[in-house]
Structure 1
Amino acid sequence: MQDRYPLEYIDLLASMTLNPSNENLSRLTKEEMDTINYHLEKETYRIQSTIKNHVFTVNKKKEVELLVRQYYSSTINLIDLLFDNREKLPKGNSGLKKIYDSMINILNDLLMFIESRFAKFLSLEEKVANTYLLMTKQRLRQKLQELQKYLELPNLKSRAPLNLLLSRLNRFADRAGSDFEVTFRTLFYKKELIKALEELQFEKAELTNESVFDAVDRVLIYLNYNSKTYIDELTLRIFKSINLFKTSFQKLDKLRYHRKEFKQLHRKPGYILNPNYHDLDIIVEKWFDEEIGYWEKLVQSTVQVESHIKANMVNEKVNKILCNLTTDQIALILRGADDARIFIAKSMNEVFKTIVPHLSTPHKVDLSYDAMRSKSYVAEERDKEKAIEALEKIIRKIRSY
Structure 2
Amino acid sequence: MNLPAALNRLVRYGAIGLLAAVVHAGVLMGLGSWLPLSLANPIGFLTASVAGYLGHALVTFREETGGRRFPRRWLLLQYAVNISVCSLLPLLDAPTVVLVFTPTVLNALIWNRAARVVLHQRQRSGCPAIHADDLGLDAGVDSAILELAEAGRLTSASLLVAGPTAPSAAAAWQSLANTQPLVLHLCLTEGPQPQDCPDLPAGFGDLLLGSLRPAKRHALRAQVETAVQSQIHRFQQLTGQRQIHLDGHQHVHLLPLVLEVVLEQREIVWVRTTAEPLPQGLPLTLWIKALNNGGLLKWLVLQSLTWLARRRLTHAGISSNRRFAGVLFTGQMAGVALEAAQESLGDGDLLLAHPAAPVSTNQLMQRHFHRSAEFFSSPWRQHEWNALKARVPHG
TM range (shorter): under 0.3
Select the structure of larger CA radius of gyration.
1
- Richer in helix (by share): 1
Question: How high is the TM-score relative to the length of structure 2?
Answer: 0.23
Larger RCO, structures 1/2 (Cα 8 Å, 6+ apart): 2
When you count strand as a share of all residues, which structure comes out higher?
2
TM-score (normalised: structure 1): 0.23
